Amino acid sequence: MSNSVQLTIASVILAGGLIVSAIVLTSGGQSTKKFNVVMQNNRYNPSEIVVSVGDRVIINFENRDPVSHGIAIPQFNATVPNGHVPAGGSARMEFIADRAIDTDAAVCGGPNPTDKTDEHGEEFIVRVR
């Protein structure tokens, strides 16, 4: 076997390895999306987030209001400790967005995440595409 043939074979093996690595890296598809959300005057800022199916989502909530605010996404088993971000406090929520949904994650005042009748009236829309 000539040196050039050996080099060619080595190059093919290397290229093949790179392609396999690229496929493995991209087929995982999961990336982490982090958000910082401020609750103030019964409003969320931002009031809507959009992520992709398969994303790992981390949301840090900071509540500047004198009342606690409830947050939950039952579809992803996601909430914050005790279900509420305490008045003047902060809380972290993490979940895997394993399917496409559009939901209102603001729940204070009602057990139903789509309830818009609670006394605070805020909305926090989570869209998974």
Which residues, including other chains, have CB under 8 Å from residue 120's CB and lie 6 or more apart? 42, 67, 69, 106, 108, 109
Q: Least distance in Å: CB of 127 to Cu ion?
A: 20
* Cβ nearer to Cu ion, comparing 72 with 120: 120
Hey, what's the torsion of the CAs at 106, 112, 114, 119, to 10 degrees? -60
* Cβ nearer to Cu ion, comparing 97 with 108: 108
Interface ranges with Cu ion (CB under 5 A): 69, 108, 120
CB atoms within 10 A of CB 47: 13
* Cβ nearer to Cu ion, comparing 30 with 112: 112
Q: Least distance in Å: CB of 107 to Cu ion?
A: 8
Q: Least distance in Å: CB of 40 to Cu ion?
A: 11
Which residues, including other chains, have CB under 8 Å from residue 99's CB and lie 6 or more apart? 53, 75, 128
Q: Least distance in Å: CB of 77 to Cu ion?
A: 21
3-state secondary structure at position 77: coil
* Cβ nearer to Cu ion, comparing 41 with 77: 41
